[in-house]
Structures are given as structure tokens and as C-alpha cells.
Amino acid sequence: MTTTVPAPTPAAPRPTRRVLDKIQWIFVGLAATTAILLPLTGTNAIFIALLLTIPFAAVHGVRRYGWRRFLAFFAVTFVVSNAFENLSIVTGFPFGDYHYTGDPKLFHVPIFIGPIYFGLGYISWLTASTVLDRADERLNPRARLGKVNIVALPALAAAVMTMFDVASDSQASTVIETWIWHDGGGVFGVPYTNYLGWWLVTYIFFQIFALILAEAQTRGPQPGSVVAPGSLTQPVLIYGALGLTSIPYFFAAEPGTVVDMAGAPWSISAINETMMTINIFTVVTVAFLALTKIARGDTATPRGSGLPRRPPTSR
């Protein structure tokens, strides 16, 4: 059985498409530059790179999914992430006991946190989809492959997104103190429950979005799914760039220690070195795998999917 996928909407005028393509590549370039150069100046490159994912996801998301499903993705990620962040700050579930230091806040959570979940979530979702050969376009539950993808894609996307947090949370919380863990934790002042919570929360909103896409694909051809040059390569490159943010930190590290709320001292250089090592063998490796699949042509027309052949695009 073949899978019914959304039919492309009427193409935008070519000059408009070219402008949007260039805008997307500009964000990719800015993310890579931010990741490699800004840490050497002592600037919080991770935060700036995360902010860059938001406008990129907005432009790319509308073109790939159309306005309705793009807004659905934004709403789901924003509402679910803020709900669980506030719940954890009040009760300790699912992340652990902590509080944010920044303002302004939506209840107990800084306003920028929800949009960052959206931006990072979007590039994580498409990176996982690329690894699974454009699985976001093959979610029709009437097909065997669609049934698998409906669960496998959200699970992998959640793991891809959590990989980034594993490498960055200790630096952002223990060193920079954007948020503070009340009882410390074994991962350089961060409790392991934080990472289990990240996977759970991100899996929930990815699963909801997968079901939204699956329902649309079950009904038949839908508007959306506009293909832009390099449309798969761009989010993967940004995801990989986020993994590079810790490498310059390691070489520019200053000696010293920080003490978490439990009174445990941690070496700043050890935190940076561990961040770099984790990123290389998780975030950077997954991005490399996704780019390899694109280069091999695995994502051009997934085998047995029934997808139409895509027009040639630049990679």
C-alpha cells in the first residue's frame, strides 16, 4: 500500500521563492558563525544560536507545512513546554526542582523559553525526519510504514532534541545560571531527571504533531509540503552548528570552579570539556548521519513510499 502525502500548493512566484531561499541560508550562515566564533569572545553563543532557530523555523515551517500545520506545531510546542516547565517549577515533576533567573516571565518561565522550544524542536524534528528518510511525509496510519513512523519519528526527534540539552544544560545552569537547580545533581550540578523530563515533554509535543500530520495524510492530498532548495540540508546544518558551540568554549576556557546549590564544586574546564565530548558524539554525529543520507540520495525518493519524484534541488 502506498502512502498518500500532501500535494504541493501552487508555487510562489520564482523571485519570492529565491528571496525566501536566501533568507533561510542566511540564518544557516549566522548560526554556524555564531557557533564557531562567538564562544571565543566569551559571548553566550548557545543562547544566540537558539534564538536564530526561531525565525528560521518560522520561514521554513510555513513553506514546508503551510500556515495551518505550522501554527499547530508552534502552538503545541509552546503550550506543552510551558505547561510542563511551570509544573516542574511548582512540583518538581518532570524535570526536577529549579527556578529561572531571567525576566519577563509567563507565570514562572521566561517568555523566550517557549519560542526556543519551538525553534529547537523544529530543527530537531526535521533532523530526525531526515535520518528516517523524510518520515514526516509518511505518517499515514493506513500503511505499515506510516504506523511505524507515527511512533518512531517523535521518539527519535525527542532523543535528538534531548542530546542537545545533555551537552548544554550544565554550562547554561551551573556556570551561566540562566536557571538554577535547587539540589544540584550528578551531571555537573544537573539531576538526571532533567534529561528524562526533556525526552518525555518533547516526545509528547512531537507525538501530537505527528498525529496531526497523520490525520491530514489519511484524508488525502493536502496543501503544503513546498520543497525549497536545500530544504532538508538547512535545518540539519543548524542542528550540527549547535553542537559546535561547545568546541570553542573548550579552547577558550578560563580556569576556576563553580559551586552548585548542593555545595558541590565543579571545574569549569571539566564542564566545557565534557560538553564538547558529548556534542561531538551525539549532536554533531547525528547531523553528520543526516547529511550523509542526503548526500547519498536516501531522502530523494524513499523506497516503497509511493512519493512522487522531487524536482532537482540544490543541496
**Could you read off the pLDDT of 242-287 as tens digits, one per residue?**
999 888 777 776 789 999 999 999 999 899 899 999 999 999 999 9
Mean pLDDT for the stretch of residues 26-48: 87
pLDDT higher than threshold 60 for residue 149: yes
Helices (H), the chain: 14-37, 45-91, 113-131, 144-170, 192-219, 233-244, 246-251, 268-281, 283-296
Reported as a pLDDT band with limits 50, 70 and 90, residue 288 is: very high
Note the pLDDT tens digit of each residue in 81-109. Answer: 999 999 999 999 999 999 999 889 999 99
Three cell numbers, residue 27: 540564518
Place of cell 568554549: 249
pLDDT at 219: 84
CA distances from 309 to 45, 129, 230, 312 (A): 39, 18, 16, 9
Note the pLDDT tens digit of each residue in 188-244. Answer: 999 999 999 999 999 999 999 999 999 999 986 554 454 554 789 999 999 999 999
Place of cell 497523520: 214
Mean pLDDT for the stretch of residues 109-131: 97
Reported as a pLDDT band with limits 50, 70 and 90, residue 42 is: confident
pLDDT higher than threshold 90 for residue 7: no
HSE of 299 in the Cβ direction (CA atoms, 13 Å)? 26
pLDDT at 35: 85
Question: Chain-wide mean pLDDT for the chain?
Answer: 88
Residues of the chain above pLDDT 70, percent:
87
Three cell numbers, residue 216: 491530514
Q: Count the neighbouring beta carbons within 10 Å of the beta carbon of residue 191.
A: 22
Q: Count the neighbouring beta carbons within 10 Å of the beta carbon of residue 279.
A: 24
pTM across the whole model: 0.90
pLDDT at 304: 41
Question: Contact at 8 Å (CB) between 286 and 132?
Answer: no
Mean pLDDT for the stretch of residues 304-315: 41
The Cα–Cα gap between 52 and 161 comes to 16
Indicate the domain borders of the chain: 14-296
The Cα–Cα gap between 213 and 267 comes to 45
Place of cell 521518539: 155
The Cα–Cα gap between 208 and 79 comes to 12
- Which of the 8 DSSP states describes residue 223? S
The Cα–Cα gap between 227 and 223 comes to 12
The Cα–Cα gap between 309 and 275 comes to 40
